[in-house]
Chain A
Amino acid sequence: MKIAATEYATHTAHDELLNRELLPRAAAQPLFDYLSTLNESELAARCEAVDATIMAMGITFTVYSDSGNIDRAWPFDPIPRVMARKEWELIQAGLKQRLRALNLFINDLYNEQRIIKDGIFPAEVLEGSGNFRPQCQGISPRFGVWAHICGTDLVRDRDGTVYVLEDNLRVPSGVSYMLENRQIMKRIFPEVFRTTNILPIDDYPTQLYQTLAALSPRPGEQPVIAVLTPGIYNSAYFEHSYLAQQMGAYLVEGSDLVVSDDDVVYMKSITGLQRVDVIYRRIDDAFLDPEVFNPDSQLGVRGLMRAWRKGNVGIANAPGAGVADDKVVYAFVPQIIKYYLNEEPLLANVPSYLCMYEDQREYVLANLDKLVVKPANESGGYGMLIGPRATAEERAQFAELIRANPRNYMAQPTLDISTAPTLVDGQLAPRHLDLRPFVLQSDKLYATTGGLTRVALRKGSLVVNSSQGGGSKDTWIVEEGEL
C-alpha cells in the first residue's frame, strides 16, 4: 500500500504509526507487514466489506439537521491506530489516578469543601460553575464516588507528549463504537489478529455491569439495572440500546419508571411494578427529575432525587458529577491530584490560561491568534475559537465574549496534535486524531484497553467529533516482539 509521501513531506505533527523516515514504528511493524500482503483490489474489496458490515450491523449515529434527524452510517477507517502495551499501561495508571482524585474532589465540593478552605481551589470558580447542583449538597454516595463512568480525551503533541484534553464526567459516549470497531476488524481482517498480539477489549460491558451492580442498595441480591435513555431520537440511542443489551440490563425511558410514596424506584413491567436498583442514566442532570431540576422535563422521573438521597437507588453518574467537567476546573486538576492523593500527576495537562484572572486574560486577549479558546461548559467541540484559523473579525467577536463573561472562558496553546495513516483514495495519508479511553470507578477502578480513536477525515482538520465530519478507527494496544 502506498504512503502519501507528498502529504507527509509537509507534515510537522507526530505520526502514531510512522517515524520521520516514514518507516513503521516498532508496534506498527506487524500491521504494515500484513498490509503489504494486500494488493489494491484486495484492499478495495475489504473496504467494501467494511461498509457492508457497518450497514448490516446498523452502526449509526443521528445527526440533527433542519431536514429532520438522519441516521448516518458510522464513518470508519480500516487502518487501526496502534500503541505499545508498555506506553499504554503508563497512561492507564494516569487515567485511574485522575478519576480517583476527581471523585474525591467532587465529594469534597458537595460536603466539607476542604479544598476551598485550604485555599487550593477558588470559591469563585465554584460559584460560577454551571454544573454545580446545590440540591446535591450533603450527600455522599456509596464509596464517595460520583463519576462512575468517565471518558477522558487524550491527544499527543508534536514532541510525543500525551496530554489530557478534557474529562467527560457527565454522560460520555462512544464506548459502543469502540467495541463495534473491533468487531468490524475481526470480521473483515481476521488474519492480522493471528500475526499481531492485539489485546482484547471486550471485557468492558462486564466491567461496566460490575461497576453499576456495586451501587445496588440491596447487596447480595441480583440487582435490577436499567439504562435510562432520552429515547430513540437521541444521537447516542444506538449506544444506549447496545450497552443495555451487552449488560443484560433494561433499556428504559423516563415514562417507564415511577417513584412511589415509599421513595423507591419501580419500572412498569408486564407483571406489575418491579423495583429498580441501579440506573445508568444517559440524560443530563437538568432533565433527571422535574421535582428538583427542570420542571418541564418529559425525559426524567418525578421523585428520582428523593429515592437517590434516601439511598434507595444507585445513579451513575451521580447527579452533580458534572461539576468537575468544566474547562476551568480542568486547569486545577494537577493541584487537585496533589491535594487529595499527595501524588505527582502521571498524565500531563495542557497549559491553560483562565480568563477569570486579569493577568491571564490580558495574555489571552493579546494572543488570540495563537490560542484555542474554549467555553467552560460546552462539549462536542461547540463554541470554540481556534485562533490561528479564525479571521480577525471572529477573534474580535470572541474577545467581546471573553470580556463579558471571563469565568466562562479558558485558553490553551494550539497543539499540533498527532496523526495516523488513514485510507484516502487508496493511499495512506496523515489525519489528526485523538483518543477517548473510558475509566470506571465504584468499589474498583478500571480503564479500557485503549479507547475510541476519533479521526478528522478532512485534510488538515482538527475536529474529530462525529457530528462534525469525524470518523473513527480501531485502537490496538499490542504486545511488542512476543510472537
Chain B
Amino acid sequence: MLARAAENLYWMARYLERVENTARLINSTTHVLLDLPLGATFGWENLVEIAGLDNLFEQNYPEADEQAIMRFLIEDTRNPSSILSCVQYARENTRTLREVLPAEMWERINSLYLYVRDNATIACRSRRERYMVLNSIIEQRHAIVGLVSGTMAHDMAYQIIKLGRNLERADMTTRIIDLNSAVQYPQDGALHETLMERVWMGTLNSLSAYQTYRRLVSMRVDNNGVVAFLLHDMRFPRSVEHSLSEMESCFKLLPKSQQLQQLTAQLRHKTAQHITDNLDALALHEYLDLLQADLGEIHNALTQNYFHAYQDGLPPVDNGQGEIEFAQQ
C-alpha cells in the first residue's frame, strides 16, 4: 500500500470518528442541560475548550452562547474540527482512495458530505432540528463503518482505518470524560450528588454506554465507577484501554511495527495501573491531559514510521507481496 494513500486513509478514519463523536457530544450535552436545575451551571464554551479549540473560537465569535458554539462546532469551516470540515476532509481523502476502499464507500461518504453540506445550517436553527440532523449523521456514519467491516478485505488498508478510528476514539473518550469537570455544582451536598449522577449519565449516554454500564458495572452511576469504566473496561469498545488494545492488534498485523507495538502496550499498561478513584476534578483533568499527550506520541510515531519514512532517503526494497498474509488453516 502506498505511503501517501495510507496517510490519507488514516486521516479519513480519524475525521469520520471525530464527526460521530462531536455529534454525540452535542446531543448528550443538550440532554443533560435540559435536566440541570437552577443553581447548577454549565457553560457551552466548555465544549469548545475540551476540544482544544477555545482560541480559535474566541478569534471568530464575540459571544459564547449556544447558537455561536453550535455554529462553530457544526457548520463553520474555519474550524478544522467542525462536523462540516471533517466530513469535507474525509470526502476529499476518499476521492484519492477509491481504489483501496469498497466500491460503495465513495458514494456513502459523498452522500454524507452532501447531507451535511445541505443540513448544517438547519442543524444550527433549533435544538429539535439539531437533534434530528446530528442523529442522521451518526446513523450514516454507522452505515459507513458497517460497510467497511462487512465488505472490506482485512488487508493493510483495513488495519490503517482501524488505527485511525481507535486513536481518535481513545482521544475523544478522554475529552468526553473531561467535560464533566466543567460543570459547576451547587454547594448543597445532597443536590450535588444527584446532579453529578445526572451529568455522568449524560456522559455515558453520549458514548451509548449507559445500559452497558448498568449491566456490567453497577446500578450506581458515580464518579469513580464511570471514570474507571470509560478508561479501563475491556468489554466496552469505546474505553481507552480497549481502543489501545485494538491498536496493538493492528500493529501486530502490520510490518515493521515492533517499536509501535511496544509503545502502545506500554501506554495500555500505564493506563491500566493508573488509579483514578477519588481524584478531584483538577487532578483528573491533569491526568487526562497527560493521556492525550501519550496518544499524540503514538500518532507521531506511526506517522513517522509509515507515512513520512521517505523523507530521509529511500528504505530497502520489499520483495514480499506488500500485503498482510494470514497463515492458511
In the complex the two chains form, is A269's CB within 8 Å of B96's CB? no
Please measure, in the bound complex, the distance between the C-alpha atom of A253 and the C-alpha atom of B107, giving whole angstroms: 23
Residues in B neighbouring A253, C-beta threshold 8 A? 4
Task: Please provide the chain A residues from 257 to 292 with a CB less than 8 Å away from any CB of chain B in the complex.
Answer: 258, 260, 266-275
Residues in B neighbouring A115, C-beta threshold 8 A? none
In the complex the two chains form, is A245's CB within 8 Å of B99's CB? yes
**Closest Cβ of chain A: how far from B248's Cβ, in Å?**
18
**Closest Cβ of chain A: how far from B164's Cβ, in Å?**
13
The closest CB in chain B to the CB of A237 belongs to: B95
Within 8 Å of chain A (Cβ to Cβ): is B6? yes
Please measure, in the bound complex, the distance between the C-alpha atom of A252 and the C-alpha atom of B6, giving whole angstroms: 12
Q: A244-B98, A256-B4, A258-B314 are in contact. Are A56 and B156 (CB under 8 A)?
A: no
In the complex the two chains form, is B315's CB within 8 Å of A273's CB? yes
In the complex the two chains form, is B2's CB within 8 Å of A268's CB? yes
Most A Cβ at <10 Å: residue of B4, B97, B156, B314: B4
Within 8 Å of chain A (Cβ to Cβ): is B292? no
In the complex the two chains form, is A241's CB within 8 Å of B306's CB? no
Q: A58-B106, A275-B317 are in contact. Are A241 and B95 (CB under 8 A)?
A: yes
Within 8 Å of chain A (Cβ to Cβ): is B293? no
Please measure, in the bound complex, the distance between the C-alpha atom of A250 and the C-alpha atom of B5, giving whole angstroms: 9
- Digitize B246-265: 1 where CB-to-A-CB distance is under 8 Å, 0 elsewhere: 00000000111000000000
**Closest Cβ of chain B: how far from A258's Cβ, in Å?**
7
Q: A269-B318, A270-B255, A271-B255 are in contact. Are A57 and B110 (CB under 8 A)?
A: yes
Within 8 Å of chain A (Cβ to Cβ): is B61? no
In the complex the two chains form, is B3's CB within 8 Å of A268's CB? yes
The closest CB in chain A to the CB of B306 belongs to: A270
- Digitize B107-123: 1 where CB-to-A-CB distance is under 8 Å, 0 elsewhere: 10011001000000000
Most A Cβ at <10 Å: residue of B99, B106, B314, B315: B99
In the complex the two chains form, is A56's CB within 8 Å of B4's CB? no
In the complex the two chains form, is B310's CB within 8 Å of A268's CB? yes
In the complex the two chains form, is A274's CB within 8 Å of B99's CB? no
Within 8 Å of chain B (Cβ to Cβ): is A354? no
In the complex the two chains form, is B5's CB within 8 Å of A251's CB? yes
Residues in B neighbouring A272, C-beta threshold 8 A? 255-256, 315-318
Chain A's interface size range is 20 to 34
In the complex the two chains form, is B114's CB within 8 Å of A271's CB? no
Task: Please provide the chain B residues from 278 to 329 with a CB less than 8 Å away from any CB of chain A in the complex.
Answer: 306-307, 309-310, 314-318, 320, 322
Please measure, in the bound complex, the distance between the C-alpha atom of A252 and the C-alpha atom of B97, giving whole angstroms: 10
Please measure, in the bound complex, the distance between the C-alpha atom of A241 and the C-alpha atom of B4, giving whole angstroms: 14
In the complex the two chains form, is A58's CB within 8 Å of B318's CB? no
Please measure, in the bound complex, the distance between the C-alpha atom of A250 and the C-alpha atom of B322, giving whole angstroms: 12
**Closest Cβ of chain B: how far from A47's Cβ, in Å?**
18
The closest CB in chain B to the CB of A231 belongs to: B96
Partner of B96 from A58, A241, A274, A275 at Cβ < 8 Å: A241
Please measure, in the bound complex, the distance between the C-alpha atom of A170 and the C-alpha atom of B316, giving whole angstroms: 34
In the complex the two chains form, is B98's CB within 8 Å of A270's CB? no
In the complex the two chains form, is B99's CB within 8 Å of A249's CB? yes
The closest CB in chain B to the CB of A244 belongs to: B99
Please measure, in the bound complex, the distance between the C-alpha atom of A256 and the C-alpha atom of B307, giving whole angstroms: 11
Residues in A neighbouring B56, C-beta threshold 8 A? none
Q: A56-B107, A57-B107, A253-B4 are in contact. Are A271 and B322 (CB under 8 A)?
A: yes
In the complex the two chains form, is A274's CB within 8 Å of B318's CB? yes
Within 8 Å of chain B (Cβ to Cβ): is A232? yes
Residues in B neighbouring A250, C-beta threshold 8 A? 2, 5, 99
Q: A55-B114, A269-B1 are in contact. Are A248 and B99 (CB under 8 A)?
A: yes
Within 8 Å of chain B (Cβ to Cβ): is A242? yes
Q: A56-B110, A244-B98, A251-B99 are in contact. Are A266 and B317 (CB under 8 A)?
A: yes
**Closest Cβ of chain A: how far from B195's Cβ, in Å?**
45
Residues in A neighbouring B103, C-beta threshold 8 A? 245
The closest CB in chain B to the CB of A251 belongs to: B99
In the complex the two chains form, is A271's CB within 8 Å of B256's CB? yes
Residues in B neighbouring A258, C-beta threshold 8 A? 314
Please measure, in the bound complex, the distance between the C-alpha atom of A267 and the C-alpha atom of B110, giving whole angstroms: 28
Partner of A260 from B306, B310, B314 at Cβ < 8 Å: B314
In the complex the two chains form, is B99's CB within 8 Å of A270's CB? no
Q: A57-B110, A271-B318, A273-B317 are in contact. Are A242 and B98 (CB under 8 A)?
A: yes
The closest CB in chain B to the CB of A55 belongs to: B114
Residues in B neighbouring A58, C-beta threshold 8 A? 95, 106-107, 110
In the complex the two chains form, is B98's CB within 8 Å of A251's CB? yes
The closest CB in chain B to the CB of A274 belongs to: B322
Partner of B3 from A56, A241, A245, A270 at Cβ < 8 Å: A270
Task: Please provide the chain A residues from 199 to 240 with a CB less than 8 Å away from any CB of chain B in the complex.
Answer: 224, 227, 232, 237
| Chain A residues packing against B (C-beta within 8 Å) | 55-58, 224, 227, 232, 237, 241-242, 244-245, 248-253, 255-256, 258, 260, 266-275
Would you list 14 pairs from A and B whose C-beta atoms are within 8 A, ordered by A residue? A57-B110, A58-B106, A245-B98, A245-B103, A250-B2, A252-B2, A270-B2, A270-B6, A270-B160, A271-B318, A272-B317, A273-B315, A273-B316, A273-B317
Can you list the 8 inter-chain pairs with the closest CB atoms, starting with the nearest?
A272-B318, A244-B99, A58-B110, A245-B98, A245-B99, A241-B98, A271-B318, A270-B306
